[in-house]
Structures are given as C-alpha cells and as structure tokens.
Amino acid sequence: MLANTEWPAYERADGRKGIRNIVAVVYLVECAHHVAREIAAPYGEQGVHVVGFPGCYPNNYAFRMLSRLCTHPNVGAVLLVSLGCESFSRQELQAVVAESGRPVQTLVIQDRGGTRSTVALGRSWVEAQLESLAAVPRTTMSFGELTVGTVCGGSDGTSVISANPAVGRAFDLLVGAGATCIFEETLEMVGCEEHLAERAATPELAGELRAAVAKAARYSAAMGYPSFAAGNATGGLTTIEEKSLGAYSKSGHRPVSGLIKPGDVPDFSGLYLLDVVPDGDVRWGFPNINDSVEIAELISCGSHVVLFTTGRGSVVGSAISPVIKVCANPETYARLSEDMDVDAGRILTGSASLDDVAEEICDLVVEVAGGVLSASESLGHREFVLGYKSFEPIGPACHPAPLAMARG
Amino acid sequence: MPANSDTAPVDPAPYVRLAPSDNVVVLTRHVDSAEHLPGLSGEDWLVVAHLDAGNKLAAVPIAAGERVFKVGVPIGTATAAIVPGEHVHSHNLRSDYVAIDAEGTHGAGEH
C-alpha cells in the first residue's frame, strides 16, 4: 500500500525531486550574515531560507555541506552573499550550483556599495526568482525517491518507550516502501555497536560500523564527556547498552545498507548510518554543539524530511527541509502541543500502539512531502548551524551496492 | 526520566513489549508494591516493590546466563533465573559491554 503512494513534487534539472521550492540565501562568512538575513526577511512566508557558514578560514567540510545544501532537491534557486575578503570560494560554490541547473547569483558586499544597496539588489533578485520558481515543472514522487532522516533532542526516559521505537517502526515501513532512511548519533550508540554490526549488509560494512562507534567513544572521551556516565538506575535503566538504546531504537530493525558522512548522498535506497564525528585528531571541539548541526548534516545527505523525537520538548525546525516533531512524553505534549506533530505519548497512556504511531508518522511524512506544513515550519522555525569539521572520504566498504545489483 | 504517572490508566496492562522478540516489558506508569498486574499469558503478576515507569519486568521465564532483549536488542545477560512479571534490574542483569576503545573509559557504573 505504502509503496504505491504518490504526492506532488518539484522536478529539478539534475533529475532529483524536491518537496519544497526554496530560494536559499547563503552568507559565506558571518560578516555577510546580516545582509543575507535582511534580504530574506520580507519573504519568510514564501520559502526564502537563510543558510551559511560563519568562519573566515577555509574548510572543506563546510564547502561540501553548503554545496550539497544549495543543490538539495528542495532548493530551486540560490543567492550567495559574500563580504568579499573571506576565504570561502564563492566562485567554486557558484559553479557547483550553476552546474546543477539552478539559477544562482553572487553578491559581493564590498563591490556593491555596502549593506543597503546589496540588500536592495538581493531582494530584487529573490523576487524575480520567486516568480520564475512558480513555473518549476511539477511531477509526482513516491517513496523510492524520498529520503527521510531522524534525530533526537531533549530526550527523556519516555523516549525509548514511545517516540524512538515508533520512529524505528516507521523507518521499517518506509524502507520497505523503497525510501532511503538515515539515522545518526554514533556518540549515543556506544554499547550497541555489536548489534549494529550484526545488521550490516556486508562483513566489511560491519567493521566500518564498529569503527565508527569506537571513534565516537574515543572522541567523546577526549572531550571530557564520555557518552556513558556512572550507571543510572533511575527510571529503570540497568546497563550501558540499554541506555544507548534510546537513540539506537530510532533505526528500526532493517539491515544497515551503508555508512555515510555529511554530504554523502546514498546511491541506493535503504537504511544508512550517518557518521557525524570528525576524523583524525580531536581538533574541532564538540562534534555537534546542538541538534541543528545534526539536522543540517542529515539534510546535506539528501533528507527531504527529518523526524525529530523529543521527550522534554524541543521546538526547533530547520532551513531547507521540514522537521516533523514526534513527542515521546504525554505531559510534554500537553504542555507544548502547538510545537508538536505527533503525540507518541499515547503509547504510554495505552491509547495507541507503537504500530499505530508508526503508521501515523508515515501518513504525516506523505502529507508534509505533499506540501502540508509541519508544526515547526508553520511557526517559522528555520534554524541552521554549520561549523568546522574534517572528514576522510568514505571507503568502498561503507557503501556496498545492494546484493541483487552487485550480482546482477 | 519517565513521567510521573499521577493518573492511573484504565488500561489493565501498564507496560509495553517494545519488540516482539523482547523477553522484558517496560512499565508505562509507576506500579505499587503488592499490585497485581495481568501477565502476558493471562497469568497473575505480583509486584513486590514500588517501581517507576521505565522499569523492566520479565515477559517470559528467563534462565540465568540468557541474554535479555529490549527493543529487539540485547541489553545484557541475566545473572539469575527470572520468572515472568519479576523486576529485571541490576540485581539480576549485568552488562555484556566490552571495551571498544583503548582508554577504557566505559563501564564506570557497571555493577
């Protein structure tokens, strides 16, 4: 049934399909952030989103992230806003976007007469794009072309009982219908790595998954915040591996098809683990200073929609892709219902089963993909955070071709 | 941590089995000492201590040395035989977690 579901979508020149038709206004250093924000400000309701990179020193990861986000299928046109003297290669980013077939323009504040005139130029360009984007070819889209990410934030003891396993079952359904699903948070998978490895599509991938969790454990220990503290019996948690289950249970029960890093867009449908912990020495501080970084990374891997589970009650959304809030705790839902999309706490009160909520999540994914605004979207949440990191490219063992294709 | 269940649900079974293969269930509200709960196979489970939501009860008989599964994932090994409905916690469940990093930063609280 799910596999046959279709919804309206936007067709991009590169053949990918989007569920939103966004104009991205991109600052290439913090010094250009205000101008970018001012350009976008009048068009908040019309799908003009601000993303960018604050740093003045060059960083390959940040370049790759912005390249992927600017050519994300939800994005229809891109305005780059440069101060002029930053290290970020605006020419290269403009070339990447132009090559994808999208309208792109670069405004250099130092060459355009300053703040007021750059804002005016930017707004007139954005207005022209909003008009032409209305003519982007429409098509239909199905699960085989959809990518869904998941993240948790503000978790509590109810998360593992309700929202997280419900998202896991939704992932089982979505992957079964042909979608690409991405989970992450290797830092919170310490203790689950053997079970994770058992789900790997190949023995080589199993080794890569173990190594990714080991890297996360080393990294967090070096930062002084190991991902497991002294055993905490409150709320009934007994072992480390049980504690890690909270995050891990969002991944469902399907085999793991591959291990990807920020900016890697999977070549085949399936279930992927996104490794967000930098490679090499501990140089860049905390791997994820907040949930918004992780959401941006999930979107850089092609996520059209992100499922965000919360117990305490996060209110964030994101630029580029809609965030759907799945609330684990019924008391939190009662308090913050205007920010929530799914009341998974009904599992605790006995008025819904995990399967009921999983189906509700899948139905909502279809609705939001079809254009209905999620709660955070309708409230104007467009958070975006990007910092410094470094990654080695993934090896062939991380992303094996599906068995049938490899043999076929 | 789990919600303070100040409203006793009408639902006769205040627990969930998070995956079909699990040999434990998780309480969805607090239960009181001497409370009787309907077991998974229709038997009577007698709770012997006050337990907060989020605690685990054995869903089926678990032998000493058997792995305990929650959400379909092993969370440790039983250190004693456990009967259905019995509380599963640090007194009868130990971690199977083995160090994966040379620094040995894990396991501070494992007893």
Backbone angles phi, psi at A126, to 5 degrees: -60, -45
Residues of chain A below pLDDT 70: 1, 225-235, 403-408
Contact assignment for A347 to B16 by CB distance below 8 Å: yes
In chain A, how many domains are there?
A: 2
Q: How many Cβ atoms from other residues are within 10 Å of residue B6's Cβ?
A: 8
Q: For the packed helices A60-70 and A90-99, what is the interaxial angle rounded to 10 degrees?
A: 30
A212, A349: one domain: yes
Cβ B56 vs Cβ B3: under 8 Å: no
A211, A245: one domain: yes
Residue A225 has a pLDDT of 64
Structure ipTM: 0.77
Q: Tell whether the model's pLDDT for residue B48 goes beyond 80.
A: yes
Query: Which chain B residues contact residue A230 at CB under 8 A?
Result: 108-109
Residue A234 has a pLDDT of 55
Domain edges within chain B? 15-94
Handedness of CA A340, A346, A347, A352 (dihedral sign): negative
Which of B101, B103, B111 has the most A C-beta neighbours within 10 Å, making it the best mutation to test the interface with A? B101
The overall longest dimension of chain B from CA atoms, in Å, is 51
3-state secondary structure A321-356: CCEEEEECCHHHHHHHHHHCCEECCHHHHCCCCHHH
Which amino acid does the sequence have at A312? R
Query: Which chain B residues contact residue A228 at CB under 8 A?
Result: 106-109
Closest-CA distance, A353 to chain B, in angstroms, reads 9
pLDDT mean over B9-33: 82
Cβ B100 vs Cβ A214: under 8 Å: yes
Query: Which chain A residues contact residue B28 at CB under 8 A?
Result: 161, 347-350
Residue B12 has a pLDDT of 60
Name the residue with tokens 């998360």. A159
Which amino acid does the sequence have at A243? K
Closest-CA distance, A379 to chain B, in angstroms, reads 27
Alpha-carbon gap, residue A221 to A127, rounded angstroms: 49
A62, A148: one domain: no
Backbone angles phi, psi at A24, to 5 degrees: -95, 125
Alpha-carbon gap, residue A64 to A265, rounded angstroms: 12
In a domain, A280, yes or no: yes
Alpha-carbon gap, residue B87 to B108, rounded angstroms: 23
Q: Which residue of B has its CA nearest to A212?
A: B100
Contact assignment for B54 to A349 by CB distance below 8 Å: no
Alpha-carbon gap, residue A83 to A176, rounded angstroms: 47
Which of A183, A215, A228, A242 has the most B C-beta neighbours within 10 Å, making it the best mutation to test the interface with B? A242
A154, A119: one domain: no
In a domain, A5, yes or no: no
Cβ A309 vs Cβ A163: under 8 Å: yes
The overall longest dimension of chain A from CA atoms, in Å, is 63
A172, A300: one domain: yes
Residue A232 has a pLDDT of 47
In a domain, A10, yes or no: no
pLDDT tens for each residue of A352-402: 999 999 999 999 999 999 999 999 999 999 999 999 999 999 999 999 988
Alpha-carbon gap, residue A296 to A23, rounded angstroms: 16
Alpha-carbon gap, residue A194 to A216, rounded angstroms: 14
Contact assignment for A242 to B75 by CB distance below 8 Å: yes
A255, A298: one domain: yes
- Tokens describing residue A311: 């117990």
The residue among A112, A113, A96 whose CA lies nearest residue A104 is A96
Which of A209, A238, A248 has the most B C-beta neighbours within 10 Å, making it the best mutation to test the interface with B? A238
Residue A2 has a pLDDT of 73
What's the CATH number where A54 sits? 3.40.50.2300
Contact assignment for B76 to A218 by CB distance below 8 Å: no
Whole-structure pTM value: 0.88
- Tokens describing residue A406: 């490899």
Alpha-carbon gap, residue B21 to B73, rounded angstroms: 9
Alpha-carbon gap, residue A79 to A92, rounded angstroms: 14
Cβ B76 vs Cβ B68: under 8 Å: yes
Closest-CA distance, B73 to chain A, in angstroms, reads 7
Of A135, A160, A189, the last residue of a domain is A135
Residue B4 has a pLDDT of 42
Which of B70, B87, B96 has the most A C-beta neighbours within 10 Å, making it the best mutation to test the interface with A? B70
pLDDT tens for each residue of A324-343: 999 998 889 999 999 999 99
Query: Which chain A residues contact residue B11 at CB under 8 A?
Result: 349-350
A109, A211: one domain: no
Indicate the pLDDT class of residue B101, thresholds 50, 70 and 90.
very low
Domain that holds residue A62: 22-135
Query: Which chain B residues contact residue A157 at CB under 8 A?
Result: 1-3, 53-54
In a domain, A213, yes or no: yes
Q: Which CATH class is domain B15-94?
A: mainly beta
Minimum-distance CB partner of A235 among B10, B52, B107:
B52
Cβ A207 vs Cβ A397: under 8 Å: yes
Contact assignment for B18 to A249 by CB distance below 8 Å: yes
**Non-local CB neighbours of A220 within 8 Å, separated by 6+ positions:** A187, A226, A227, A287
A225, A351: one domain: yes
Query: Which chain B residues contact residue A237 at CB under 8 A?
Result: 54
Query: Which chain A residues contact residue B70 at CB under 8 A?
Result: 242, 245
Query: How many whole angstroms from its chain centre is CA A312?
Result: 20
Cβ A54 vs Cβ A30: under 8 Å: yes
Q: Tell whether the model's pLDDT for residue B108 goes beyond 60.
A: no
Q: How many Cβ atoms from other residues are within 10 Å of residue B42's Cβ?
A: 6
Query: Average model confidence (pLDDT) for chain B?
Result: 80
Of A70, A102, A135, the last residue of a domain is A135
In a domain, A1, yes or no: no
Query: Which chain A residues contact residue B55 at CB under 8 A?
Result: 235-236
Q: How many Cβ atoms from other residues are within 10 Å of residue A95's Cβ?
A: 13
Of A151-160, B40-49, B97-106, least confident by mean pLDDT is B97-106
Residue A189 has a pLDDT of 87
In a domain, A163, yes or no: yes
Counted across chains A and B, CB pairs separated by less than 8 A come out at 152
Q: Tell whether the model's pLDDT for residue B3 goes beyond 50.
A: no
Residue A226 has a pLDDT of 54
Comparing B2 with A170, the larger pLDDT belongs to A170
Alpha-carbon gap, residue B92 to A297, rounded angstroms: 41
A277, A171: one domain: yes
User: What is each CA distance from A359 to A2, A22, A131, A342, in whole angstroms?
Assistant: 10, 28, 37, 11
A125, A211: one domain: no
Query: Which chain B residues contact residue A333 at CB under 8 A?
Result: none
Minimum-distance CB partner of B18 among A165, A230, A345:
A165
In a domain, A3, yes or no: no
Closest-CA distance, A281 to chain B, in angstroms, reads 15
**Non-local CB neighbours of A272 within 8 Å, separated by 6+ positions:** A180, A181, A182, A183, A256, A257, A258, A259, A260, A266, A301
A148, A122: one domain: no
Of A82, A104, A135, the last residue of a domain is A135
Query: Which chain A residues contact residue B109 at CB under 8 A?
Result: 228-232, 240
b/e per residue A152-181 (b: at least 16 CB within 10 A): bbbbbbbbbbbbbbbbbbbbbbbbebebbb
Cβ B70 vs Cβ B24: under 8 Å: yes
Alpha-carbon gap, residue A382 to A45, rounded angstroms: 11
Residue A222 has a pLDDT of 86
Express as a percent the part of chain B with pLDDT over 90: 48
Q: Tell whether the model's pLDDT for residue B81 goes beyond 70.
A: yes
Closest-CA distance, B34 to chain A, in angstroms, reads 19
